[in-house]
C-alpha cells in the first residue's frame, strides 16, 4: 500500500469487465473475442485490463502504436496475440522486428517495408468504406498481400452504432475479400458490430467500448455493466448565502441560502466543462447536482440536502456512460479515454 492517496480515484469493477467480455463473446457466434486496449485500455489502465482479460481466456489484444505495445509486451506469452493497429513506420521497424507484437499493415508502403525486412507474420487492414486506414477494398488486395503471412485480415465498421445499411454493405465487401485474400483469420466487428449479430463475428471480434461499460447500441442495454466509477474527495464545504454566485464567470446564482461541497476533480481530470451545471454526484442514494462551471481541478456540488457530508468525505461521480454522454455532449469514448493520470485506479 502506498502511503499517499490521491484525492480522486477510479473504482474499477473487475466482475463487470469480465462479465461484459463474456457477453460480447457470446454475441459473436463462434468467433473468438479479443479486446481493444489502446489508449491505456480506454483510460482504465491497459496492463491491468489485459491481465484480467487474459485470466478470463481472452487471447487477442489490439493497441494503436508501438509505445502502447511495449507496455504490454511482458504479458505476451505463447498463444497470446498483440496487434498494432497503426502498422509500422520506418521509425518503428527496429522495435517491431524485435517485438512479440505484430503490425496491422495498412498501406502499400507499410507492406513493402515489412516485406523488405522479411518481418514475419503480420495482420492486414482493408478499408471497406471508412476511408481511414487500410488497403482500398476496390484494389488488388490479394495481389498486395501476396508474399505476406497474414494472421488476421481486418476491416472496421463505419456506423455500426446506428441502424445504417452501410454496415450490411461493408459486410458484403468483407465477405468477398474473405474468399480472395488468404489469411488464417478474418475480423470485422467492434463493440457495436458485435451487437449487429453473429454474421458480423467471422473468426474474431474486437470490442473496446462495451468492455469498459459503454453502450454502443440498445441491444447492449441490461447486459453491459458499468465498470468505471470515478470518486472525488471533498476539499471544502461552505455556506453560500442567497444572491452570491459560485465559480468562474458567476454562472450560478444562489437563489436561496445553500451549502456546497468543493471536490478535487476538474476538467484536467477529464471531467469536462460540458458537465457544468448539468452533471451529478452521488452519496449513497442521494443525488447531488453540479453547480456552476467545472474548473481545471475543482467542481462544486449542492449538498444542502446532506448536512452530514464534509471535508474529507468521498462522493461518487454519476458516470453511467450513455447518460453522462447525453448530459455532457461527449461521446462515451471521450468520457473514458479522457480520464486523467491524477486518479488512483483501484480494482475491486
Ligand X SMILES: *Cc1c(COP(=O)(O)O)cnc(C)c1O
- Most distant CA pair in the chain, distance: 75
288 binds ligand X per the rule CB under 6 A: no
Nearer of residues 33 and 240 to ligand X, judged by Cβ: 33
Residues 73-92 that bind ligand X (CB under 6 A): 85
205 binds ligand X per the rule CB under 6 A: no
Binding mask 241-280 for ligand X (x = CB under 6 A): ----------------------------------------
SS3 for the chain is CCCCCCCEEEEECHHHHHHHHHHHHHHCCCCEECEECHHHHHCCCHHHHHHHHHHHCCCEEEECCHHHHHHHHHHCCCCCEEEECCCCCHHHHHHHHCCCCEEEECCHHHHHHHHHCCCCCEEEEEECCCCCCCEECCCCHHHHHCCCCEEEEECCCCCCCCCCCHHHHHHHHHHHHHHHCCCCEEECCCHHHHHCCHHHCCCEECCCHHHHCCCCCHHHCCCCCCCEEEEEEEEEEEEECCCCEECHHHCEECCCCEEEEEEECCHHHCCCHHHCCCCEEEECCEEEEEECCCCCCEEEEECCCCCCCCCCCEEEECCCHHHHHHHHCCCHHHHHHCCCCCCEEEEC
Among 52, 102, 113, 156, contact with ligand X (rule: CB under 6 A): 156
Closest residue to ligand X in the complex (CB): 208
* Stretch in the footprint of ligand X (CB under 6 A) among 7-15, 71-79, 184-192, 220-228: 184-192
Among 190, 233, 299, 337, contact with ligand X (rule: CB under 6 A): 190
Among 43, 45, 208, 230, contact with ligand X (rule: CB under 6 A): 208
Catalytic residue numbers, as ranges: 38, 248
Nearer of residues 193 and 266 to ligand X, judged by Cβ: 193
Nearer of residues 36 and 150 to ligand X, judged by Cβ: 36
209 binds ligand X per the rule CB under 6 A: yes
* Stretch in the footprint of ligand X (CB under 6 A) among 135-143, 200-208, 217-225, 260-268: 200-208
If binding means CB under 6 A, how many residues of this protein chain bind ligand X? 11
Nearer of residues 261 and 321 to ligand X, judged by Cβ: 321
Nearer of residues 46 and 299 to ligand X, judged by Cβ: 46
Among 8, 16, 31, 36, contact with ligand X (rule: CB under 6 A): 36
The residues of the shown chain that bind ligand X, judged by CB under 6 A, are: 36, 38, 85, 156, 190-192, 206-209
Amino acid at each position: 500500500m502506498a502511503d499517499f492517496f490521491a484525492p480522486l480515484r477510479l473504482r474499477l469493477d473487475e466482475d463487470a469487465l469480465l462479465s461484459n467480455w463474456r457477453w460480447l463473446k457470446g454475441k459473436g457466434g463462434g468467433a473468438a473475442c479479443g479486446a481493444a486496449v489502446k489508449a491505456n485500455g480506454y483510460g482504465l489502465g491497459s496492463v491491468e485490463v489485459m491481465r484480467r482479460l487474459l485470466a478470463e481466456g481472452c487471447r487477442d489484444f489490439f493497441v494503436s502504436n508501438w509505445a502502447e505495445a511495449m507496455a504490454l509486451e511482458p504479458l505476451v506469452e505463447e498463444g497470446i496475440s498483440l496487434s498494432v493497429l497503426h502498422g509500422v513506420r520506418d521509425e518503428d521497424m527496429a522495435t517491431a522486428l524485435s517485438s512479440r507484437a505484430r503490425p496491422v499493415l495498412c498501406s502499400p508502403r507499410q507492406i513493402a517495408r515489412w516485406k523488405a525486412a522479411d518481418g514475419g507474420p503480420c495482420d492486414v487492414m482493408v478499408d471497406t468504406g471508412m476511408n481511414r486506414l487500410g488497403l482500398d477494398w476496390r484494389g488488388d488486395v490479394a495481389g498486395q498481400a501476396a508474399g505476406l503471412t497474414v494472421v488476421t485480415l481486418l476491416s472496421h465498421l463505419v456506423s455500426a452504432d446506428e441502424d445504417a445499411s452501410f454496415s450490411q454493405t461493408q459486410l458484403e465487401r468483407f465477405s468477398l475479400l474473405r474468399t480472395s485474400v488468404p489469411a488464417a483469420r478474418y475480423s470485422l466487428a467492434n463493440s457495436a458490430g458485435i451487437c449487429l449479430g453473429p454474421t458480423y463475428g467471422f473468426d474474431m471480434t474486437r470490442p473496446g467500448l462495451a468492455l469498459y461499460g459503454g453502450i454502443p447500441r440498445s441491444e447492449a442495454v441490461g447486459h453491459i455493466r458499468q465498470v468505471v466509477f470515478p470518486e472525488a474527495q471533498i476539499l471544502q464545504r461552505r455556506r453560500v448565502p442567497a444572491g452570491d454566485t459560485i465559480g468562474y464567470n458567476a454562472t450560478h446564482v444562489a437563489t436561496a441560502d445553500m451549502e456546497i461541497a468543493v471536490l478535487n476533480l476538474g476538467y484536467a481530470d477529464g471531467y469536462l466543462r460540458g458537465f457544468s451545471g448539468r452533471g451529478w454526484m452521488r452519496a449513497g442514494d442521494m443525488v447531488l447536482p453540479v453547480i456552476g462551471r467545472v474548473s481545471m481541478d475543482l467542481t462544486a456540488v449542492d449538498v444542502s440536502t446532506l448536512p452530514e457530508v464534509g471535508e474529507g468525505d468521498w462522493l461518487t461521480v454519476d458516470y453511467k456512460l450513455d447518460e453522462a454522454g447525453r448530459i455532457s455532449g461527449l461521446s462515451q469514448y471521450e468520457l473514458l479515454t479522457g480520464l486523467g493520470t491524477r486518479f488512483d485506479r483501484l480494482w475491486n
